[in-house]
Structure 1
């Protein structure tokens, strides 16, 4: 999916130095050819590492009040850094001084995008309570919901749905959150999306449905289980 720079499976431009497009399938998706990404060693890294350089990570880990100015520019505003550092009081000081809660960085990420990618649940809830827009797309068309699915954050997916995000929103390559959930082989998230109205008939720009993607993994039990889930849950079902 062209999601701006997402934590990666595959290859688009990395945001701020490390993350890339969250979804990627082989050029020819046939049974037995699994999508790249999935359980790659890169995905095992913390998502802060995909957004920050090792030097910036060291600054962030220094103490309870890291020198944020050293990791904020020219990539992004200090607000984004406070999000990654879980510095909610400092975030609030900036917001109370008039800083835009939906401020974009150079990759089109809002603070909410960053919080979702970093799996900062307390920050995500706080930003949403303060009015953060969960519908903003990055420059590849990816919303926070796309990223929540990509990083496997089930509770964040539920929270975003509760905040009335569109479960069928597609990025610039036509990938919806359901396509990503199936590509990530995350049955629990796929089910949540389906029962909340995800359209299993939607196709990516290269013509793949969620079922097509589930069949790219071969014939192991998990692939069968995903395909069965997609087939059994009625399209556009709402609960």
Structure 2
């Protein structure tokens, strides 16, 4: 490890003194990274100009600031004053061997120290959170009125009946706000993952409507039914097509949903893709077995719908797609 000690606007630690680029500051680094350490009123600031991993320790010793720098590069670059480097090629070759040798020791020391610091930080964080929770509990109990404390005591475990309506279901609300941790708490407490609101929408329906990709994947892994229909007979695939969520469409197909499923009006996901003029999703559906000959209850095929928008490029593009796919 190289020690750099700040004294009177000069940097010690090398064979020569290097004038600082600004009062009470140190510029050091490599050809790929530069670090500016500045001293001001007993504190040391650090600015890193790229993502190079640099580990710096600071300690204040009376009127001087000491920065202990460890990097994997190990080379010194003069402050950029417009002149060339004072080191010649031979010196660089010699230093390269030293750097490689030092790198081995550095990585070993760093990994060992990082493990220790990580474990200590984890323990400190847990202690801090625990202390915060204790303090918060005491503070809230002091703030609550007697009747409010009684409500809290009666609901030591979640009481969903008191925080639900036919329209506003906790699981659906948490789904749209992406509160996965609290969703799992409800599910672990016995809540049906496919429970519906007054419109027949499950949490999976809601997640797809809100295009919450992470929640969609989580619900499917937890066992949510990808085939469930809402009050109008629409499945999660219908909604994924409607909102243009390509990744959700592909994910649901991987879960073996029926690409030709119909709602109460006889609409398939392909009908909705054409209505929304989404060529890419229509193509995915056709490639995965969508039946373009299916008719709605009023007798319209997907091709009929594509021609209802009039004579424009998109209409022709969709019509061509429906005529040539799937390839026999």
Return the TM-score normalized by structure 1: 0.68
- Contact 2:238/2:268 (CA < 8 Å) preserved in 1? yes
What corresponds to 2:266 in structure 1? 174
Give the one of 208, 215, 223 matched to 2:307: 215
Q: How far off its partner does 1:222 sit?
A: 0.9
What corresponds to 1:38 in structure 2? none
What corresponds to 1:73 in structure 2? 165
SS in 2 for 1:125: helix
After TM superposition, the structure 1 = structure 2 runs for residues 85-234 of structure 1, keeping only pairs within 5 Å, are: 85-234=177-326
| Segments ≥4 residues shifted beyond 3 Å | 68-72
Return the TM-score normalized by structure 2: 0.50
What corresponds to 2:85 in structure 1? none
Flag the 1:234–1:74 CA change in 2: closer, same or farther, 3 A: closer
SS in 1 for 2:219: helix
SS in 2 for 1:168: coil
CA RMSD of aligned residues (A): 1.8
Q: How far off its partner does 1:219 sit?
A: 1.3
In 2, Cα distance between equivalents of 1:71 and 1:164 = 35
* Structure richer in strand, relative to its length: 2
In 2, Cα distance between equivalents of 1:84 and 1:72 = 15
In 2, Cα distance between equivalents of 1:139 and 1:224 = 34
Q: How far off its partner does 1:72 sit?
A: 4.5
How many equivalent pairs are there?
169
SS in 2 for 1:227: helix
Which residues of structure 2 form unaligned runs of 5+? 1-159
1:147-173 Cα distance to aligned partner (Å, 9 max, x none): 000001010000000110000000000
Q: How far off its partner does 1:84 sit?
A: 0.8
In 2, Cα distance between equivalents of 1:92 and 1:101 = 10
Which residues of structure 1 form unaligned runs of 5+? 1-67
